[in-house]
Structure 1
Amino acid sequence: MECARMTEYMEMPEKTGVARMTYGYNLPAKHVIHTVGPIIYEKVTAKERNELVSCYRSCLQLANVYNLHSIAFCCISTGEFRFPNEEAAQIAIDTVRTYLKETNSKIQVVFNVFKDIDYDIYNKLLG
């Protein structure tokens, strides 16, 4: 409901790569950070890679602005949005590592996966 109100207020769909935060309400988290990832129609382009980086960075920046102690990321843009799983995972990991190094942020980052293939990919890449 809160997301719907934000979208109505802006009178346009949310831009790709931008993060917004709402309350968690009945979820086990106090807040939920929302972002829209790129949709892949053919081959992945540099623009779409940069948009995915922006998704992760803007979420981390927002979490730090609100002094959140942890953040959990799902696999942004994979599945229905067709970003290749392994490439998306590498971008996610690289972006988080770079952000933490550049900012000295102490935020705890969790990569939350739903599919076995994603578990295997993250396990291999984080190995």
Structure 2
Amino acid sequence: NLPSSYVLHTVGPIINGPLTQKDCDLLASCYSSCLRLADDNKLSSIAFCCISTGVFRFPQEKAAEIAVEIVREYLHHDTGIKQVVFNVFNTKDEMIYHALLD
């Protein structure tokens, strides 16, 4: 019973060793693909969880930096998206996103 019309599903990279540029590029692609899909479907808002953190072991700080960078970049272009929500898993994630967005 989600209060939304659509659910966009993406699977981010699983980290099994040192973080690589390819991992970062794959995570960035998850965010940009969802933003494009939301725009293609004329959605005005989108919410993201902390993709690939947790059991997929992507470092929280780097994942948040990528998420915020991709969203900011995307919103500078012509888009119908008016609201982006970052839904965090825990207090540490919340602190990271507040620091990046303030």
TM-score normalised by structure 1 residue count: 0.77
Gaps of 5+ in 2: none
Structure 1 segments, 4+ long, off by >4 Å, are: none
Pairing 1:63-102 to 2, within 5 Å after superposition: 63-101=38-76
The within-5 A match list for 1:1-127 is: 26-101=1-76, 103-107=77-81, 108-127=83-102
1:41: how far off?
A: 0.4
Which protein is bigger by CA-based radius of gyration? 1
Give the Cα separation in 2 of the matches to 1:119 and 1:53: 20
Deviations 1:48-75 (A, max 9, x none): 1000000000000000000001000000
Distance in 1 between the 2:4 and 2:50 partners? Answer: 18
Q: CA deviation at 1:104?
A: 2.3
Bigger relative contact order, structure 1 or 2 (CA pairs below 8 A, ≥6 apart): 2
Q: For residue 89 of structure 2, what is the amino acid of its counterpart?
A: F
Aligned length: 101
* TM-score normalised to structure 2 length: 0.95
1:69-102 per-position Cα deviation (integer Å, ceiling 9, x unaligned): 100000000000000000000000000011111x
- Residue range with higher mean Cα deviation, 26-35 or 56-65: 26-35
